[in-house]
Amino acid sequence: MIGFLHTPPPFLFFTGKGGVGKTSLACASALALAEQGNKVLLVSTDPASNVGQVFDTQIGNQITPIQHVEKLSAIEIDPQAAAQAYREKIVGPVRGKLPEAVVNSIEEQLSGACTTEIAAFDEFTALLTDKTLQTTYQYIVFDTAPTGHTIRLLQLPGAWNEFLEHGQGDASCLGPLAGLDKQREKYAQAVDALSDKAQTRLILVARAQASTLQEVARTHVELGDIGLKEQYLAINGLYPEAAIDNDALALAVYQREQHALVAMPESLQQLPQDRLPLLSSNIVGLDSLRALVSTSVESVSESSASNVTTIQQDAYPHLDTLVDELAETGHGLVMLMGKGGVGKTTIAAALATELALRGNDVHLTTSDPAAHLSETLNGSLANLEVSRIDPEVETQRYRDRVMATKGKNLDEAGKALLEEDLRSPCTEEIAVFQAFSRVIRDANKRFVVMDTAPTGHTLLLLDATGAYHKEVSRQMGDKGMQFTTPMMQLQDPALTKVVITTLAEPTPVQEAVSLQADLQRAGISPWAWVVNHALIQAPLTAPLMQERAAQQLPYIEAVQVQHSQRLAVVPLQHAEPVGTEALHALCCAS
């Protein structure tokens, strides 16, 4: 039995970024506990939940017994449906009573990730404080835990409604908190349960990648600071040494992961840790779930022969096909977007390098905290300028400005609310976008390749709360003058090309689909998708690599057929693509 399932408390929470396997681990853990004779409830709030598929059981928002597992039941909370119901609870009473523009502004403030988090926590609370459920089930296993930011918000004193009514919180998360005051006692009980080691264990799920482990380290500290001390680390999907099978790419993956483990942040090294191997098949069915929590990395034997056909390199368009089309325009804004860990910084650097090598004047700007690509590129090419925006510096500058204006006449409780609101992820996006806006005008005369861009919700929030676009529109429109704001530039397909980066896996693709819908709501239509880290090298000799490659195919085809008119597929590299030569090679089909 793996370590985090040894003498567990009644509540188990699995958390981690998309695509690391937290749903699979949550399902496997729930099954293991049930087969030990315990009554178990599995709760999923993952927007890309496939719990029903894993167990071959139709599951919805009602507690449903799992077929062929006597003591296991599950429920899937749809976070989007929960957020919609939550929005309607707040907006419904004012619809028809307030001007439509005001109602639209309120709805937009309630449309982002913070609302979804808080609505999901609303559902968590019912389960964490339901005494009947706790007497019925010995264990409740949660797939996806509430964030530290959400929990801190719910710990704050004060009346959110009053704060909002006085116009003191137009930022990101106070809108979603409107109307929660009546449930403060129940939330306090839930937070107490989360921070009680005798009741709750948190399992941080990660892959052996430097960026992922750094993010998990931040989550570990953030949750520890608010009292969630009972934490375990699960490193999932490690390539087994025994399955390398003389495959050069498999060896490279293995060595890269081992290096990431050695360089793991010290705060994570101190945690109880489990390491689970990469399995050859997707985790579907009871047998694969049992294997997931019973197989150690060391126990994996050499792979058997496989008849899986290797995907050929020329089966899908490469990155240079996008560069060909971009280069025809001579200038413009190329904005890379995608969830963390999909490699968008590398793709941005590769596009910028290739455009510069073709003689174009290019400005690459990034807010990636790991600036090694910027340092490698700086001065490497005469017509490539590289700049880096420091998110921490820009965010602190933005917070200071808001506290000096909005917070000027607030009492201590009001200042505490505003300060907490300014810690939200949206705040960093707004601050970084304001810094990016200073370089967007460059796109009228040369290429500007922008990495780590804000979401559609943040752009709409800026627009809805007035900021720059609305104010300029009012002032210039009244005078009959021609004008262009950054928002209008982003919405202009002739000037701006948004490139969504993802991986050929279920959760990253689902997250990219949601991002695309978010952008379209803001009037921005993504221009192309890039599927990164694809296993399309030829030849792949390791059966495990061949099988994983075959499983990527449906997701690549779904992107090509359903989600984007333009697609580029970038193969997983033997070494990290750092430096102009490696980035140039990343673009080339040969």
Give catalytic residue positions: 19, 21-24, 46, 507
CA distances from 293 to 3, 30, 133, 200, 289 (A): 10, 11, 26, 20, 7
Strand (E) or helix (H) holding 427? helix 425-440
Q: How far apart are CA 531 and CA 151, in angstroms?
A: 34
Helix (H) or strand (E) holding 455: none
Instruction: Give CA–CA dist 108/96, Å, rounded.
Output: 17
Write the CB contacts of 477 (distance below 8 Å, at least 6 apart in sequence): 483
Distance from the first to the final alpha carbon of the chain:
46
Cα–Cα dist 165/167, whole Å: 5
Q: DSSP for 390-419?
A: -HHHHHHHHHHHHHHHTTTT--HHHHHHHH
Q: Which two tokens stand for residue 397?
A: 């500058």
Can you tell me whether residue 65 is helix, strand or coil?
strand
Residue 399 carries which side chain, given as an amino acid letter? R
Q: What angle do CA 26, 79, 159 make, to 5 degrees?
A: 115
Host H or E run for residue 586: helix 580-587
Tell me, letter by letter, the H, E, C secondary structure of 128-148: HCCHHHHHHCCEEEEECCCCH
Query: What are 141's strand-pairing partners?
Result: 12, 42
Question: Hey, which bits of 474-524 come out as E strands?
Answer: 496-503
Cis peptide before 539 (omega within 30 of 0): yes
C-alpha Rg value of the chain to the nearest Å: 24
d(CA 360, CA 302): 49
The partner residues of 44 in beta bridges, in order of sequence, read 76, 143
